[in-house]
């Protein structure tokens, strides 16, 4: 999509995560859009819960619980004897998660923390450990995998949700074509991610996870988001993904007017596609990896 640069890629680290998830707008916009414009008849969250094989009595740790959207649905499947903990790096997300799960009927705790350090929990503590879409932001997947495997019970399992690097490739292609067309600096363009971020994605997840677990099974969820008008896609692109990271990195580098030009150019191109094809489509590919039998080195 773009050529090499001598400058290092933009860093989407802890500061970016806390700032990005300091508001519910990006995450909620993505969640709502995925549900409203999906082609798959089954919601992703229902697919995820189905893979958890819940009896209803589990002790559960949700690492990277975000605004509690997924956790709240899981809580509806739990009953007497169950308990849950939601852990997240963002205090703002934890506050939202508490609000969104206020009617929980089982013991529920929220903790600020990071996936790389679960030392507050002893070995074999939980029946289910969830890590949904956190590996976009993880610098060292092996450290996180070791911690997830350490705290899960031998008869339980870890459920890890990951998106493919090439997921939503149509949006990335459109984004970079429009950036070039509107005159964004080449060095700025070249430092942006060209696909879904993360050192562990679908391309290498099975290989990495198999180093930490004896039994890893992949459950693929393939979908398309179909937009028949431009407005919901533009909201998804701008508010949900903040121009694929460009907005967050633009400060001091590019002007607001240039971002406005980008928005207008993307809008023009999407409307043109819809006019010709009747729709604008984004291909999405996610998988849930069920990981059993944490290896001794992990423990």
123-171 per-position pLDDT tens digit: 999 999 999 999 988 999 999 999 999 999 999 999 999 999 999 999 9
pLDDT of residue 2: 44
Q: What is the pLDDT of residue 16?
A: 81
Q: Read off the pLDDT of residues 34-72 as tens digits, 9 standing for 90 and up.
A: 999 999 999 999 999 999 999 999 999 999 999 999 999
Residue 259's pLDDT band, with cuts at 50, 70 and 90, is very high
Residue 79 token pair = 């009953």
The DSSP output letter for 290 is E
Nearby residues of 203 by Cβ (< 8 Å), 6 or more positions away: 164, 165
For the chain, domain boundaries: 14-166+195-223+285-294
Over residues 202-246, the pLDDT tens digits come to: 989 999 999 999 999 999 999 999 999 999 999 999 999 999 999
What pLDDT score was predicted for residue 94? 96
Check the CA dihedral 253-256-262-265 and report its sign. negative
Write down the pLDDT at residue 12: 83
Range of 16-25, 73-82, 242-251 with top mean pLDDT: 73-82
> pLDDT tens digits for 72-114?
999 999 999 999 999 999 999 999 999 999 999 999 999 999 9
pLDDT at 242: 93
Mean per-residue pLDDT, 10-20 = 81
For residue 263, the model assigns a pLDDT of: 97
Q: Closest Cα to residue 135, out of 163, 158, 111? A: 163
DSSP-H helix ranges across the chain: 14-20, 25-36, 44-51, 69-75, 91-100, 141-151, 169-182, 186-190, 205-210, 230-235, 246-249, 256-277
Residue 29 has pLDDT above 90, yes or no: yes
Which residues lie closer than 8 Å to 198 by C-beta, 6 or more apart? Answer: 135, 136, 137, 138, 162, 165
Architecture of domain 14-166+195-223+285-294: 3-Layer(aba) Sandwich (3.40)
Question: Which residue would you say has higher pLDDT here, 42 or 22?
Answer: 42
Helix (H, G, I), strand (E, B) or coil at 39: coil
At a CB cut-off of 8 Å and minimum separation 6, what does 187 contact? 5, 7
Cα 12 to Cα 34, 179, 237, 259, distances in angstroms:
23, 20, 18, 19
| pLDDT over threshold 80, residue 1 | no
Read off the pTM. Answer: 0.92
Q: Which residues pair with 290 in a beta bridge?
A: 159, 217
Instruction: List the end-to-end C-alpha distance of the chain, in Å, as a whole number.
Output: 42
Predicted pLDDT at 21 = 81
Q: Quick one: pLDDT at residue 36?
A: 97
Under 8 Å between Cβ of 126 and 151? yes
Predicted confidence at residue 104, as pLDDT, reads: 92
Task: Calculate the average pLDDT of the chain.
Answer: 94
What does the alpha-carbon distance between residue 264 and residue 257 come to, in Å, rounded to a whole number? 10
- Which tokens sit at 261? 């030009």
How far is 176 from 173, CA to CA, in rounded Å?
Answer: 5
Under 8 Å between Cβ of 156 and 127: yes
Distances (CA, A) of 27 to 68, 151, 260, 269: 11, 27, 22, 25
Q: Tokens at residue 182, please?
A: 């509107």
């Amino acid at each position: 999509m773009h050529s090499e640069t001598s400058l290092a890629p933009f860093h989407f680290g802890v500061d970016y995560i806390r700032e990005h998830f300091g508001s519910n707008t990006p995450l909620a916009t993505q969640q709502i859009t995925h549900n409203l414009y999906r082609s798959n008849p089954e919601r992703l969250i229902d697919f995820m819960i189905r893979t958890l094989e819940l009896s209803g009595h589990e002790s559960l740790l949700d690492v990277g619980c975000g605004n509690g959207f997924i956790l709240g649905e899981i809580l509806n499947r739990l009953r007497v004897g169950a308990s849950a903990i939601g852990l997240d790096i963002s205090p703002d997300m934890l506050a939202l998660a508490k609000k969104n799960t206020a009617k929980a009927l089982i013991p529920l705790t929220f903790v600020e923390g990071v996936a790389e350090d679960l030392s507050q929990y002893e070995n074999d503590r939980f029946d289910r450990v969830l890590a949904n879409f956190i590996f976009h932001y993880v610098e060292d997947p092996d450290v996180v995998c070791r911690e997830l495997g350490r705290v899960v019970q031998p008869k339980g399992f870890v459920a890890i949700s990951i998106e493919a690097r090439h997921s939503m490739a149509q949006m990335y292609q459109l984004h970079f074509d429009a950036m070039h067309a509107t005159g964004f600096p080449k060095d700025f363009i070249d430092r942006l991610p060209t696909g879904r971020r993360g050192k562990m994605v679908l391309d290498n997840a099975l290989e990495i996870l198999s180093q930490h677990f004896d039994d890893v099974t992949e459950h693929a969820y393939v979908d398309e988001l179909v937009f028949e008008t431009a407005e919901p896609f533009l909201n998804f692109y701008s508010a949900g993904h903040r121009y694929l990271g460009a907005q967050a990195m633009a400060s001091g580098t590019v002007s607001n007017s240039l971002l406005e030009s980008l928005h207008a150019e993307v809008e023009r191109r999407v409307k043109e596609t819809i006019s010709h094809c009747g729709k604008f489509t984004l291909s999405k590919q996610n998988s849930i990896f069920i990981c059993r039998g944490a290896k001794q080195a992990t423990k």
